[in-house]
Every structure is written in structure tokens, then in C-alpha cells.
Amino acid sequence: MKETLPQFDAINPDTIEAKLKQLLNRNKGFIDDRLAKGPPFTWDNFIEPIETLEDELHQFWSITSHLNSVTNTPVLRKVYNTCLPQLSDYSTQLLHNKEYYEAIRFIAAVDQKEKNLDFAQKKMIENALRDFKLAGVSLAPEEKEKFANLSKTLWQLTTKFGENVLDATQAWTKLISNKSILSGLPQHALETAAAAAQKQSKQGWLFTLEAPSFLAVMTHADSQDLRKEMYLAFITKASQQSPSGPQFDNTEIISTILKTRLQLARLLGFEHYAEYSLATKMAENTTVVIDFLNSLAEASLEKARSEFAELQHFSETEYSLNTLEPWDIAYISEKLRKARYDISQEELRPYFPEYQVLTGLFHIVHKLFGVTFKPVPYPSTWHQDVKCFSIYDKDNALLSHCYFDLYARKNKRSGAWMDDYRTRRINNNCIQTPIAFVVCNFNAPVGNDPALFTHDDVVTLFHELGHALQHMLTKINYPAVSGIHGVPWDAVELPSQFLEHWAYEKEGVALISKHYQTQSPLPDHLFKKLHNAKNFQSALQMVRQLEFALFDFRLHAEFDPNRKNHVVDILQEVRSKVRVLPSSELDHFQNSFSHIFSGGYAAGYYSYKWAEVMASDAFSTFKEKGLFNADCSHKFLKTFLEMGGAKDPLSLFIECFSHRPRIEALLKETGILSEH
């Protein structure tokens, strides 16, 4: 079977809704017809043909959803929002179909006697039965209708939340004509801002709330007034206080999302949404999660306060700033980093041109897992800057494809993420190869220079490729547990955080760095500074992430729709316990907290730290035995990368490393706990 890559240039938004309706009706028709025929139901006559239909639907909708994130035009947005309720209805109808549920139970019961299914098929069935229950298959008819309406409402609300964040981000710009105001900004940031102004036929330098532009000002601009203006615009976006106005305010949407989630959870017999969320995760219960987060906070707070005291002292003595305001933190931190380690992200940028980073990253992955990346010539893409690669195994057999969309631009969602278009499965007796999308928002090339990445950008790229590797290198042939699918959410970040470590080690950095003009490698003295600075303010970063995680989890465990300002009250309670850095009274960060209000991290933001414990512990074995130790690499490949969601992550961890994950590994890796 000859596989083809998606033809993005042939996608017509005007035909999406009609095609979706056709696919939904076809799928429903087949399922109804097959159920009407009755038992015996088997894998071959029931699950496999439905899987084929669902896979085609997944590919169709995933490409639509992806384009809505990376090329968000008014036409596409309208089509996307029109289709969402139809998909929600379809999904709910399937999961509320008692006959469908009983057919799966029939297959499971037969397998208990005959043992005719393999471990991945068993896991897929186990997950399916769980998901039926979590969707309310046993509810009374009127309760099922209520569940369907709640689900549809949630789809629409979370989509609107994300749209408001995107629109609010794009609504604010700052054009500066007086270059003296831009003192301190690196040349690269000035060139990018000048190019942005030129694109709009304006004179001067144009700044936005997109990450590369915002961070450049917050980290380097000498003008405190400019930093303050931009900071306040950033923390108030999508709120009533936004300088672009209240039209994108997410405040009421947040309350409605939380109320809807609570209703949905209680309808299914859960006390709250956090309890419902954990039904598909590794963590056993809410107490385990809260204790886990509090234990990290307890271990980190003293050092975080010490790091902030040092920052305050440096600010007072070196910059005569007796009061550190929130818009001063990144700026003074960068000055302290420079003073202590004599290194800055901008100084490193020339050593990380895009082509060298990608070449080196692919080489690292090759050394670890034996796979090779080869560019696809002239692929169809959604933007001229997108690159596509084919991935081959050591025997030169095609494994998968990966698209890289690395630059920030208008009408593209902020942040960085990995998504999938196609999942590995058996199709017509052939392996269907997976396809992944890696999306970031880095600075694009300026003039004749290549794109130059900061080291932070490089770490982000390693992270997202780690996700993609789990999807692309899987050996599981059933989509529901293949690649990233079926992996408990609190284990999803393990491969991504694991791969980040190679961006800090000398053997890894040597492969990804080369000065874009002189072609010289990163000098030893710069590498030492980079490595020494790795854990700069690590405790402050830890408690910042714990603030997000505790806020998210407590919010979904405690939210009371009858309490006015309960969201803000919970946030303030969390901050009173774990926040060390100053904050502004105008801070409405929750209004753009897309991870939990328009992403998949509701009552699951703790997953970053949960998985980071496993990733740090896993990496400690490589550190001990060798960064490219063949035995360690082989075990990691055979467990976490090849098994997808077909096996329990804790079992895989113990199989790979012969012990349970240890929280001390993360504390040592971040320098919060002494190695000795």
C-alpha cells in the first residue's frame, strides 16, 4: 500500500462541514447496522471495521483542527465552530449507546474464556469500557440528554476561551519610533520588530504579545516604563482590564466552564471534576496529587525565598531598585544571570542556527534510538516555512513522518505543542505509518540570516520532539492505544521532559551548536557557563509551576458556583502559600490559562511535575551509565516509545529501571536538593 501525505493546498474550508456530516452518518450507519445483526461480536467483525471508519474520521478532523490552530482565518474558524457541536453529539451518542457497550463487553467476556486477544487489544477494550462508563452509558435517558448538552457546551466554551486568548493577543501592538526607548534590546530583537513594522507598512519597531516579542522586552529592555506597559497588557489580556478592551474577556467563560465540568462530574457520581479527571490518570486519588504537590513545595520554598532575596539584594545594590516590581523580575534576573555566569540567551543565539539545531537533534535521536530523519522534497504544507521529514529505522524501513512549524506569525496559536494527524495501525494488511506535527513560536529568520534560536527555544524543540517520538516510534497497531493515544495524562510528558536533558549535556550540545557565521563550535567556556546556569533560579521556577498546578487542581476540586469570586479566592490562597515573586493586583493570568481552560490539562496540570519526576529519575540512569548507552536506550525505546498507551506507565518504568520513580531525582536534577 502506497501511503500519501496530506495535501494541505487542496483543503477547501467550504467543503469541510459537508464531508464531516458524510463521515459521521456513514460511521453511525455502519454501527447501527452491525448492532442490529446481533452477536457473536468479535474483534474482526466489529471492533476492527469500526476502527477503520473512526481512523478516517480522526484524520479528517485532526487536519481541520490543526489548521484552525496554525492558520486561524475567519472562514476556517466559522466552519470549525459549526462542526464542533456535531462532533460532540456524535461522540456522546456513541458512548451512550448501550448496545455498543454490551457488544464490547461480549468481546471481553469471550476473551476471558478463549484468551484470543493480545495485551494491546485487551488494554484497548479495558479503556473503551472505562470510557463508556465515564461518559454515562448507564445513565437514565433524561440524564444522558443532560450529559450530551453539557459535553457540547464544554466543547464550545473551551474553544471560545482559546479564540479570545488568540484575539486578545493579536489586538495589542506597540509601535515605537524613538529608538532610544529600546535601549538594552539585542540586535536580533530590533531587527525582528523592524521587520514586523515593515510588514504593516509602518516606520519604526513593532512589538506584540507573542512570546518572542514579549520576552525580548521583558528580559532586555532598559526602559522600566516599556516593560511595565507590556507586562500589564500581557497579564490582563482576555480580561476586563485589557488595554484592547473587554470584548475578549474570559472571566464569565471560566466560571461557566467550571460550573459545567462540576455538573458533568456529579452527573456521573463523582464528587467534583478533579475526581472525575483522575479516573484516566496514574495518580490514585486527589489526596495523592495534593500531597505530591505540597511535598515539592515544602522541599523548594526555602531555596526559592533565598533565590528571591538574592535577586532583591542584587537589584538594590547594582540597579538602585529598592522595590522589585513584577515587570522587573525577568530583566533583573537576566542581569544577575549575566553577572554570575557571564552568559545570556542572546549571547548563545548565534550558536544555535535552525539548521544546526535540527541536524544535531536528529543525530542525537539517531544515536539513541537508531532512527534517521530525511527531508521530504517539496511537500504540501499549510505555510511556506513548514518542513517535513520522513523517519526511517536502522534497516531503512519507513516508520513515520513529522512536520515542523517553528516560527511565530499572525493567526497562529501561541505556545508550543505536538499533535498527530495519523496513527499507526494495520490497514489492508499493511502498516499505516504515523504522522506528527511539531509546532513552536520562535523568531523567524531576519534578512539573509537563518533563524537563530535561544537555548530556551532549543529545549522547547527537544521537548516537543520527545512527544512526537512517542507517537512516531510506536509498535502498537491499534489506534486507541498506539503512540500518544491511551497514555495516562500524567505520564504523557515523560518522553518530552526526558529528551530535554540532552540539550544541556556536553555531548548533546556539541551536536546542536555551531556559529552561523564562523561555523565554530560552542566554546568550552560558554558551554560551562550554560551548564552551570542550568539551575539558575530553579526553585523559583519550581514554585511558579506548583502555583499553577495547585491552582488548577484545587479549582477543579473545590469550585463552588454559588461563591462569588471563588476562582480569584482560590488563586490568592494558593499564592499565599507557595508564591515567592511579587504579583500585580491587575494580574488576570487565569484568563489566558489555556492549558486548563482550552487544552487537555484540566485538573491535570500537576502532570508536568509528576512526569518530570519520572523523566529525571530515568535520565539519572543514563547519566550514570552513559548518555548514549546502548542498553539504556534500547530499554527506553522498547518500553516508553514503542508501547504507547498499551501498558501501564508505572509498570513500564519498573521494567525499564527496576525501581519506582523517586521524587529526590527531580530535586537533585534541579539543584534544589544536594547531590551529596
CB neighbours (10 Å) of residue 169? 22
The DSSP output letter for 523 is P
Say if residue 514 is in the same domain as residue 392. yes
What pLDDT is recorded for position 676? 56
**Rounded average pLDDT over 234-259:** 95
Q: Are residues 266 and 286 in the same domain?
A: yes
Q: Is the pLDDT of residue 209 over 50?
A: yes
- What confidence category does residue 331 fall into, taking pLDDT thresholds of 50, 70 and 90? very high
pLDDT at 217 over 50: yes
Would 292 be classed as within a structural domain? Answer: yes
562: confidence class by pLDDT, cuts 50, 70, 90: very high
Q: In CATH, what number is assigned to the domain containing residue 86?
A: 1.20.1050.40
What are the pLDDT digits (tens) for 124-168? 999 999 999 999 999 999 999 999 999 999 999 999 999 999 999
Residue ranges of alpha helices (H) inside 396-523 are 455-472, 494-500, 506-512
**Structure confidence at residue 4 (pLDDT):** 86
Chain position carrying cell 496514574: 282
Q: Is residue 242 located within the same domain as residue 378?
A: no
Average pLDDT over residues 337-341: 94
Confirm whether 639 is domain-assigned. no
Set of cell numbers at residue 24: 459521521
Phi, psi of 427 (to 5 degrees): -135, 115
Confidence of residue 251 (pLDDT cuts 50, 70, 90): very high
Helices marked H in 236-374:
251-267, 273-278, 286-319, 329-341, 345-348, 354-369
* CA–CA separation, 7 and 77 (whole Å): 20
Of 494, 489, 601, nearest to 549 by C-alpha is: 601
Select from 609, 601, 672, 614 the least CA-distant residue to 640.
614
Whether 282 is covered by a domain: the verdict is yes
Block residue for cell numbers 520532539: 465
Instruction: Tell which phi-psi region holds residue 674, choosing left (phi > 0), alpha (psi between -120 and 50) or beta.
Output: beta
pLDDT tens by residue, 40-50? 999 999 999 99
Residue pLDDT, tens place only, 14-35: 999 999 999 999 999 999 999 9
Q: Is residue 514 part of a domain?
A: yes
Write down the residue that cell numbers 463487553 correspond to: 105
Q: Determine the average pLDDT of the residues in 9-14.
A: 92
Q: Measured in Å, how far apart are the chain's first and last C-alpha atoms?
A: 57
Contacts of 40 (CB under 8 A, 6+ apart): 106, 110
Which H/E stretch holds residue 205?
A: strand 205-208
Q: What is the mean pLDDT of residues 329-355?
A: 95
Nearest to 414, CA basis, from 164, 584, 150: 164
> What pLDDT, in 10s, does the model give residues 436-477?
999 999 999 999 999 999 999 999 999 999 999 999 999 999
DSSP letters, 577-595, are HH--S---TT--GGGG-HH
Domain boundary at 199, 218, 248, which? 248
Residue after which a domain boundary falls, among 248, 265, 295: 248
Say yes or no: 199 and 258 in one domain. no
Strands 398-407 and 387-392: what pairing?
A: antiparallel
Domain range enclosing 101: 8-95+97-134
Residue 2: the pLDDT is: 57
Strand 205-208 with 173-176, pairing: antiparallel
Provide mean pLDDT across the span 649-667: 96
Going from the C-alpha of 145 to that of each of 67, 96, 98, 464, 551, the distances in angstroms are 31, 9, 14, 38, 31
Do 238 and 328 have their domain in common?
A: no
- Residue-wise pLDDT for 280-296, tens only, equals 999 999 999 999 999 99
- Residue % of the chain over a pLDDT of 90: 96
pLDDT at 152: 95
636: in domain: no
Distance CA 378, CA 17 (A): 29
pLDDT digits (tens, 9 = 90+) for 301-314: 999 999 999 999 99
* CATH number for 276: 1.10.1370.10
Instruction: Indicate whether 551 and 599 sit together in one domain.
Output: yes
Backbone torsions φ then ψ of 208, nearest 5 degrees: -135, 180
Mean residue pLDDT across the chain: 96
**Number of domains composing the chain:** 4
Q: What is the largest CA-CA distance in the chain?
A: 81
Phi/psi of residue 35, each to 5°? -65, -35
Cα 314 from Cα 321, distance rounded (Å): 9
CA angle centred on 658, ends 656 and 660, rounded to 5°: 100
Task: Please check the confidence at residue 1 and state whether its pLDDT lies above 50.
Answer: no
Report the alpha-carbon distance of residue 568 to residue 572 in Å, rounded. Answer: 6
Q: Among the residues of 350-433, which ranges form H helices? A: 354-369
In this predicted structure, what is the pLDDT of residue 582?
Answer: 95
Residues 364 and 424 in one domain: yes
Is residue 327 located within the same domain as residue 364?
A: no
Indicate if the pLDDT at residue 90 is higher than 90. Answer: yes
pLDDT band at 245 (very low <50, low <70, confident <90, very high): confident
Does residue 157 lie in a domain region? no
Which CATH number covers residue 354? 1.10.1370.40
Q: Are residues 324 and 448 in the same domain?
A: no
Region 237-249: what's the mean pLDDT? Answer: 93
CA atoms within 13 A on the CB side of 70: 27
Which neighbouring-strand residues pair with 207? 174
**Does residue 239 fall inside a structural domain?**
yes
List, for residues 572-617, the tens digit of each pLDDT value: 999 999 999 999 999 999 999 999 999 999 999 999 999 999 999 9
Same domain, 434 and 548: no
10 Å Cβ neighbour count for 674?
Answer: 7
CA 597-602-605 angle, to 5 degrees, is 110
Rg (CA), the chain: 25
Q: Is 612 a catalytic residue?
A: no
In whole angstroms, what is the distance from residue 139 CA to residue 326 CA?
49
Contact assessment for residue 399 and residue 433, using Cβ atoms and an 8 Å cutoff: yes
Residues 524 and 559 in one domain: no
pLDDT exceeds cutoff 90 at 345 = no
Cell numbers 476471558 correspond to 112
Say yes or no: 543 and 587 in one domain: yes
Residue 401 has pLDDT above 70, yes or no: yes
> Taking the model in full, what pTM does it have?
0.93
In a domain, 150, yes or no: no
Given 73, 108, 134, the domain boundary residue is: 134
Instruction: Give the confidence band of 344 by pLDDT, cuts at 50, 70, 90.
Output: confident
Buried-state track 97-119, b at ≥16 Cβ within 10 A, e below 16: beebbebbebbeebbeeeeebee
The active-site residue out of 210, 346, 464, 612 is 464
What is the per-residue pLDDT across 184-193, written as a single tens digit (0 to 9) for each? 999 999 999 9
Calpha distance 470→466 (Å, rounded): 7
